[in-house]
Structure 1
Amino acid sequence: MTVPESDGAQIEVVRVFTDPAGRFGNPLGIARYSAVENADHQALAARVGFSETVVVHDPDPATERVKMRIYTPKVELPFAGHPSVGTAWWLNDQRHPVKIIDVPAGPVEVATTDGITWARARAEWAPNFEFHQFEDAAAIATLDPADFPEGKHYCWGWTDEPRGAVRARMFAPAMGVPEDQATGAAAIRLTALLTRGLNITQGEGSQIFTEWDSDGWARVGGRVVADHPIVV
């Protein structure tokens, strides 16, 4: 039997894809499975209200793997980049590092190098987005979430094409997210579309890095910082 909410459960919070000073980034809620085992996880994510909340099992130290489920306020996702990067960093910070996060889409390889936490996945695991390229990247700042009442939209433009620098915003009311401050899955999709690594500035100032593998895999990475836990 499940209950619609989990009164008193502590949700850890990290901000994923911050700038070098630890500013901006996208909040991620992290719930330990043991604390919310009998709760309705989708209802819990809606109550938390972040673009994504994850439910994480205890890692297996023998295999260095962990199971994870990902929820937006409206739907469960088979894969998402910001939760994968954020959870990998958090587990490492908790002294329970893993090499693989098993999500419904498949095994996500994770690693941290020089302060950047990376997650490797296939582009087709990510949700489909409608991409809108802007010739004038400055115009992206003038967009209003109300302009996108439905669907999943990623608006982007080059700020320095030779260096792979991109300005972007994402609007996904279909996922219960009017605007997302940093979207790893969309970054992977765009990387696959352009078949090159990118340095993306999204939302107010979040920074996302990607790398393209010619065999169809891509990596998405960024900086993560701890934020204050919440109780729901």
Structure 2
Amino acid sequence: MRRFPFVTLDVFTDRRFGGNQLAVFPDARGLSDAEMQALASEFNLSETTFVLPPEDPANTARVRIFNRTAEMPFAGHPNVGTAYVLADRDRDGLLRFEQPAGLVEIAVGRDAAGAVITTTVAAPQPLTIGETLPPDLIAACACISEAGILTARHVPTLASDGGNPRVLLEVTSEALAMAAPDHAAFRRAVEALPALGGRLSLYLYRRDGERLRARMFSPLAGTPEDAATGSAATPLTGFLLSLSSAERHAIDILQGVEMGRPSLLRTTARRTADGIRATVGGGCVPVLRGEALL
């Protein structure tokens, strides 16, 4: 029988049983693709990561990310949490993870005693803004009225910076509170909109003073609602910068409140020579250690 140690963490939080859950296999050598997918499905978390030796020794590791149904090219909270687990491998406070979306750099922040307090992920690609989508169709997916979507600044818009594209939509306070994913409406939307490529994730947000409140629905990937979505927070922050004349900005996003798992995602975005680049970071809390027996 083969044994594969794992740890679980709560990510984007400073307290246990908050934030977004993550399982990390720090040494996944010997696991097949099918076994990785089976383990991710068994954990039944939004994502599970598997750490392998890097192809380029200048990098820290090759990190594969699986959700319940498929491998992902990039994701936010899995990188934040995996960096926390591998922080002892950092070089000058920086980790470099090889992933399908590109090389992902994660900065490690420590306190005066050297303990890790934050890890901050740079999205591997500049912001890409995709198609706009019909508000009525998107409203149906979130079980809200079309009037609950605010369109003065932008209509529902696809955006990405290395992860799966997310539909970004600003909503009213009432719509954010009452929203819920309608699985049938999600299926109808992907059939009606070929541009989605069979995938649909909604990132709803509203303004809350100087910060944002957000929720994320991705039921077709097995995640009806996500407690913290770094790979949606970075394109949102970059997209909002694109709507302004500023060179850079920083936004704190509170997510997961409605699930009883409040998460704080600290994001930045800046204009660069190759486009808008964004980061997302936060704290982590270890929860469990164990072994998978295969």
TM-score exceeds 0.5: yes
Q: Does 1:159 align with 2:159?
A: no
Decide which moves more: 39-48 or 150-159: 39-48
Q: Does 1:101 align with 2:97?
A: yes
Decide which moves more: 112-121 or 199-208: 112-121
Q: CA RMSD in A?
A: 2.5
Question: Radius of gyration: which is bigger?
Answer: 2
Q: Which ranges in structure 2 are unaligned for 5 or more consecutive residues?
A: 111-116, 128-160, 187-199, 242-248
Q: Secondary structure at the match of 1:110?
A: strand
Amino acid paired to 1:116: T
Q: Does 1:214 align with 2:251?
A: no
Normalising by structure 2, what TM-score? 0.68
Determine the structure 2 residue equivalent to 1:42.
Answer: 37
Kept after mapping to 2: 8 A contact 1:158/1:166: yes
The structural deviation recorded for 1:63 is: 2.7
Change in CA separation of 1:149 and 1:226 when aligned onto 2, cut-off 3 Å: farther
The structural deviation recorded for 1:135 is: 2.8
Determine the structure 1 residue equivalent to 2:237.
Answer: 191
Determine the structure 2 residue equivalent to 1:227.
Answer: 287
**What CA distance in whole angstroms lies between the structure 1 residues aligned with 2:279 and 2:204?**
20
The structural deviation recorded for 1:42 is: 1.6
**What CA distance in whole angstroms lies between the structure 1 residues aligned with 2:184 and 2:285?**
30
Structure 1 outlier segments of 4+, above 3 Å: 6-10, 20-23, 58-62, 145-149
The structural deviation recorded for 1:118 is: 0.3
Amino acid paired to 1:198: I
Kept after mapping to 1: 8 A contact 2:22/2:81: yes
Normalising by structure 1, what TM-score? 0.85
Kept after mapping to 1: 8 A contact 2:95/2:108: no
Kept after mapping to 2: 8 A contact 1:192/1:218: yes
**What CA distance in whole angstroms lies between the structure 1 residues aligned with 2:22 and 2:98?**
18
Q: Which ranges in structure 1 are unaligned for 5 or more consecutive residues?
A: 1-5
Kept after mapping to 2: 8 A contact 1:148/1:173: no
Amino acid paired to 2:254: T
**What CA distance in whole angstroms lies between the structure 1 residues aligned with 2:86 and 2:184?**
35
Superposed CA deviations along residues 139-192 of structure 1, whole A, max 9, x for unmatched, are: 4232223477533111110001xx3x0001111012211111000000011011
**What CA distance in whole angstroms lies between the structure 2 residues aligned with 1:38 and 1:139?**
40
Q: How many residues align?
A: 220
Amino acid paired to 2:217: F
Determine the structure 2 residue equivalent to 1:28.
Answer: 22
Amino acid paired to 1:119: V
**What CA distance in whole angstroms lies between the structure 1 residues aligned with 2:184 and 2:268?**
29
Change in CA separation of 1:7 and 1:219 when aligned onto 2, cut-off 3 Å: same
